[in-house]
Amino acid sequence: MSSDNKLLPKRIILVRHGESEGNLDTEAYTTTPDHKIQLTESGLLQAREAGARLRSLLSSNPSSPEWRVCFYVSPYDRTRSTLREIGRSFSRRRVIGVREECRIREQDFGNFQVKERMRATKKVRERFGRFFYRFPEGESAADVFDRVSSFLESLWRDIDMNRLHMNPTHELNFVIVSHGLTSRVFLMKWFKWTVEQFEALNNPGNSEIRVMELGQGGDYSLAIHHTEEELERWGLSPEMIADQKWRVNAHKGEWKEDCKWYFGDFFDHMADSDQESETDATEEDKLNLLTNTEDNNEELCS
């Protein structure tokens, strides 16, 4: 790995919180504020198991024994409790920092939620579109995208300025303990997925882990740690999976020329060369001139 990549985190890992009282029974939201919803006993166990899986993953490379981890966590009770259980698998020397980060909180669905009204509202969202629909008194996924984008800018500044005071001989890992939609939006922003691609994504399960790992060229990919079957199950299209596989060996800053969602949806008749483009433009000018001449003749004769 190049020296430019030494301070980059080896992995950026997204973890959804464990099963919550709201996941078990949506009635909980009618009497308890969303940020106060607690984990169930099953959710606490899921979080502890997630911690064991994380520890196993981070310590799996014998050539990098001096690995470290930095946690970012949503301020909601269920994410804080998830992190607390995850932390049981780590010693203090392995954790170089923990930051509570409001910008990675759950999508705001409003205040106390009336069950029947929320059910009707979610039906409207399915017709309107999950990304742009804004809940009354709450947020849209597009609003979440904006604050996650701001969080990512801060994350990169922390890396660039080495605010974590990271020893370059240590392998750095970021773990972001957050929520289902927030994690999907994070991936959307990072990999520049479109709104249409976001709409097809499936929510991660409780305490599910999604690993973005740094390739040799300095780009991150989901395809290093996860199988193609997993990516399909998450809702990634064949083109998105191919992009993840390309990123495994891509060099930081490279552009994937055949990335269909950047060109095909907008320029489906684009010429392959400047010469063809100029020829097409000349033919179009001739056609426009002929049409205008005919229109003018009609006006003179009328």
19 belongs to an annotated ligand binding site: yes
Identify the domain containing residue 229 by its residue range. Answer: 3-261
Residue 126 lies in a domain: yes
109 against 2, higher pLDDT: 109
- Answer yes or no: do 132 and 45 share one domain: yes
Q: Which CATH number does the domain housing residue 74 bear?
A: 3.40.50.1240
User: Are residues 257 and 281 both part of a single domain?
Assistant: no
Residue at 42 is within a domain = yes
- For residues 103 and 226, state if they share a domain: yes
Amino acid occupying residue 189: K
Percent of the chain at pLDDT > 70 equals 83
Same domain, 186 and 251: yes
Q: Are residues 31 and 101 in the same domain?
A: yes
Task: Kindly state whether residues 204 and 164 are assigned to the same domain.
Answer: yes
Q: 97 and 36, same structural domain?
A: yes
Residues 167, 285: one domain? no
pLDDT band at 301 (very low <50, low <70, confident <90, very high): very low
Q: Assess whether 173 and 111 both reside in one domain.
A: yes
Number of domains making up the chain: 2
139 among the known binding-site residues?
A: no
Is 116 a residue whose pLDDT tops 90? Answer: no
Are residues 192 and 287 part of one domain?
no
Residue 134 in any domain: the answer is yes
Q: What is the mean pLDDT of residues 187-212?
A: 97
Q: Which residues participate in catalysis according to the annotation?
A: 17, 106
Residues 174, 289 within the same domain: no
User: DSSP string spanning 206-265?
Assistant: TT-EEEEEE-TTB-EESTTTS-HHHHHHTT--HHHHHHHHHHTTPBTT---TT-HHHHTT
The answer to whether 16 is annotated as binding is yes
Q: Which residues contact 11 (CB under 8 A, 6 or more apart)?
A: 57, 58, 173, 174, 211, 212, 213, 214, 225
pLDDT attached to residue 300: 42
The SS3 assignment for 13 reads strand
What is the residue-averaged pLDDT of the chain?
A: 88
Is 78 known to sit in a ligand binding site?
yes
Domain-embedded: residue 266: no
Q: 287 and 231 share a domain?
A: no
| Predicted TM-score (pTM) of this structure | 0.85
82-96, 134-148, 160-174, 204-218: least confidently modelled range: 160-174
> Phi and psi for 236 in degrees, rounded to 5?
-75, 135
Distance (Å, whole) CA 20 – CA 280:
60
Q: Per residue in 8-58, pLDDT tens?
A: 899 999 999 999 999 999 899 999 999 999 999 999 999 999 999 999 999
Q: Summarize pLDDT for 130-170 with one digit per residue, the tens.
A: 899 999 889 999 999 999 999 999 999 888 888 777 788 88
Q: 1 pLDDT exceeds 50?
A: no
